[in-house]
Chains A and B, each alone.
Chain A
């Protein structure tokens, strides 16, 4: 589904992402973890076209999408959410989602119908007429997800969708992500909530200082001494 190779990006003298490579297979839930400043979000921005890459390639469904603009990448079926949510503040929740719904149709009613279905799926239907900025953060994160789901992505890059959520909201979101995956969506998620990564992901990539530190199943990762030293900490217990 997604194959990145030798991706490199520096900001001035700082090498933010250095020759990173990994693959995300069809129907997988892949996790991208690492300490703050490891380059996770930068990597996301490079994959989805927000930042140009200094070197390396991004292949999505066997097509080279390196250097394409974000809107083109999105239309090809590679969707993303933002770590800091970006709702269309003064538009209603329904209108927010409809913007996504127009990705593959020019028809107003079709976009509206699609948006209503997605709102039902993420359980935001009862908020559909309120302006997006009045939603609390947990619902804003769900709105962000609904909006991109409405574009019918094949691969979804989630940038800390669990961040800032209450425990109950985390559980709901995990269930939603699993549902989406079961419906055939491939997912790549940046996440700090390790319990979620452990229960959801079947493949985990660890970044540290812009480089890939380790890669493997959640079990392998938690036993990797380098990962424990750099990120998880001594005595980390995966359960």
Chain B
């Protein structure tokens, strides 16, 4: 197999990233990178349905929470390995996602977003009130018993590599979508559902399949989060703030592209922790204001996301090659 230049660059970057823990022996930075992997996984999973399918969910924290609670409850109460819990949480999230999707996927635009937003709120209320199962608002701690089976580790290196592998999954799936029937169908639905149907696209089925995949991955991220942070709190894990953070990263990085969410995760993570350390000691809240302004500026200046900066040149070339004077903007 002959590798293209692009593939070689991507593999090189991956190799360099994979070697980071060998040279960087600093828990603060490793922690930051592990968090970026987690965000990249979540934003990447969200991007599958939202970026490629136009399903702008603002309640993805619900699936993160389902994953985190499922594996943690199984682990704490029954001693089930979180690896199995991860799978169970993923399957449960898929089932819930497909059911919720079946009920809401016919809703258009903002109505769909609102339905998902409400769903995450419902999950918070359930988690807070089902005290017997979830310990309510106290949250659940994951006991510190390091072992591979328990998905609990002494250091950070194991989390680093698990996180790295996890955040690659949505990238591969996104790449698959860009070269497959289901991906083309999904993008067609995003662009115009009525036209897609007229070409034989079974739109509900396509959307539900991708929803199942995306929510599964989000729940896997939830388990990883619970095992890494070792504590889950219903008010955080199901929060609107978390849902919008996930969406924001994919939007800032570039929706509907394989690498956009990764770029968004990197930029937002660095920006928010840099601003916190640089401005955090000034007037309280200033760093949040600057952070907010930064996001507004990025969205206005680069509406198609950071990834579009790398593609612009290529697009210009393509337009010059394919176009002539008959091409007009409308």
A interacts with B: yes
Q: Chain B residues near A167: list those with CB within 8 A.
A: none
Instruction: Give per-residue flags for A92-103: 1 if the beta carbon is below 8 A from chain B beta carbons, else 0.
Output: 000100111011
Q: Chain A residues near B324: list those with CB within 8 A.
A: 126
Indicate if the CB atoms of B323 and A75 lie closer than 8 Å: no
Instruction: Give per-residue flags for B103-139: 1 if the beta carbon is below 8 A from chain A beta carbons, else 0.
Output: 0000000000000000000000000000000000000
Indicate if the CB atoms of A136 and B179 lie closer than 8 Å: no
Cβ distance A102 to chain B, nearest Cβ, rounded Å: 4
Q: Chain A residues near B196: list those with CB within 8 A.
A: 88, 99
Q: Which of A50, A95, A103 contacts B187 (CB 8 A)?
A: A95
Indicate if the CB atoms of A126 and B322 lie closer than 8 Å: yes
Cβ distance A47 to chain B, nearest Cβ, rounded Å: 12
B202: Cβ under 8 A from any A Cβ? yes
Indicate if the CB atoms of A79 and B198 lie closer than 8 Å: yes
Indicate if the CB atoms of B194 and A50 lie closer than 8 Å: yes
Closest to A105 in B: B181
CA distance A69 to B179 in the complex (A): 27
Indicate if the CB atoms of B322 and A99 lie closer than 8 Å: no
Q: Chain A residues near B1: list those with CB within 8 A.
A: none
CA distance A98 to B199 in the complex (A): 10
**Chain A 55-74 interface residues, beta-carbon cutoff 8 Å to B:** 69-71, 74
Chain A residues within 8 Å of chain B by Cβ, number: 40
Instruction: Give per-residue flags for A10-53: 1 if the beta carbon is below 8 A from chain B beta carbons, else 0.
Output: 00000000000000000000000000000000000000101000
A128 and B322 contact, Cβ closer than 8 Å, known pairs A90-B191, A106-B181: yes
Indicate if the CB atoms of B187 and A88 lie closer than 8 Å: yes
Indicate if the CB atoms of B199 and A151 lie closer than 8 Å: yes
Q: Chain B residues near A80: list those with CB within 8 A.
A: 198
CA distance A102 to B133 in the complex (A): 47
Indicate if the CB atoms of B197 and A69 lie closer than 8 Å: yes
Cβ distance B188 to chain A, nearest Cβ, rounded Å: 4
Closest to A69 in B: B197
A133: Cβ under 8 A from any B Cβ? yes
Q: Chain B residues near A90: list those with CB within 8 A.
A: 191
Cβ distance B169 to chain A, nearest Cβ, rounded Å: 21
B289: Cβ under 8 A from any A Cβ? no
Closest to B304 in A: A90
Instruction: Give per-residue flags for B189-232: 1 if the beta carbon is below 8 A from chain A beta carbons, else 0.
Output: 00110111111111100000000000000000000000000000
Q: Chain B residues near A91: list those with CB within 8 A.
A: 187-188, 191
B318: Cβ under 8 A from any A Cβ? yes
Indicate if the CB atoms of A102 and B318 lie closer than 8 Å: no
B4: Cβ under 8 A from any A Cβ? no
A127 and B203 contact, Cβ closer than 8 Å, known pairs A79-B198, A108-B181: no
**Chain B 313-330 interface residues, beta-carbon cutoff 8 Å to A:** 318-319, 321-324, 326-330
Q: Which of A74, A105, A135 contacts B198 (CB 8 A)?
A: A74
Closest to A50 in B: B194
Chain B residues within 8 Å of chain A by Cβ, number: 30
B153: Cβ under 8 A from any A Cβ? no
**Chain A 129-158 interface residues, beta-carbon cutoff 8 Å to B:** 129-130, 133-136, 139, 147-148, 150-151
A7: Cβ under 8 A from any B Cβ? no
Indicate if the CB atoms of A99 and B327 lie closer than 8 Å: no
A223: Cβ under 8 A from any B Cβ? no
A86: Cβ under 8 A from any B Cβ? yes
Q: Chain A residues near B187: list those with CB within 8 A.
A: 88, 91, 95
Cβ distance A238 to chain B, nearest Cβ, rounded Å: 33
A99 and B194 contact, Cβ closer than 8 Å, known pairs A134-B328, A136-B326: no
CA distance A74 to B328 in the complex (A): 31
Cβ distance A208 to chain B, nearest Cβ, rounded Å: 27
CA distance A146 to B200 in the complex (A): 14
Q: Chain A residues near B202: list those with CB within 8 A.
A: 71
B46: Cβ under 8 A from any A Cβ? no
Closest to A75 in B: B200
Indicate if the CB atoms of A70 and B323 lie closer than 8 Å: no
Indicate if the CB atoms of A111 and B181 lie closer than 8 Å: yes
B185: Cβ under 8 A from any A Cβ? yes
A82: Cβ under 8 A from any B Cβ? yes
Q: Which of B192, B198, B318 contacts A129 (CB 8 A)?
A: B318
Indicate if the CB atoms of A95 and B318 lie closer than 8 Å: no
B311: Cβ under 8 A from any A Cβ? no
Q: Which residues of A contact B (CB under 8 A)?
A: 48, 50, 69-71, 74-75, 79-80, 82, 86-91, 95, 98-100, 102-103, 105-106, 108, 111, 126-130, 133-136, 139, 147-148, 150-151
Can you list 9 A-B contacts (CB < 8 A)? A71-B199, A71-B201, A88-B195, A88-B196, A89-B191, A127-B327, A129-B322, A130-B322, A136-B328
Closest 7 pairs (CB-CB, A-B): A88-B191, A86-B195, A74-B200, A129-B322, A75-B200, A103-B200, A99-B188
Q: Which residues of B contact A (CB under 8 A)?
A: 179-181, 184-185, 187-188, 191-192, 194-203, 318-319, 321-324, 326-330
Question: Apart from A88-B195, A89-B191, what 9 extra A-B contacts exist at CB < 8 Å?
Answer: A71-B199, A75-B200, A86-B198, A99-B201, A102-B185, A126-B324, A130-B327, A134-B323, A147-B199
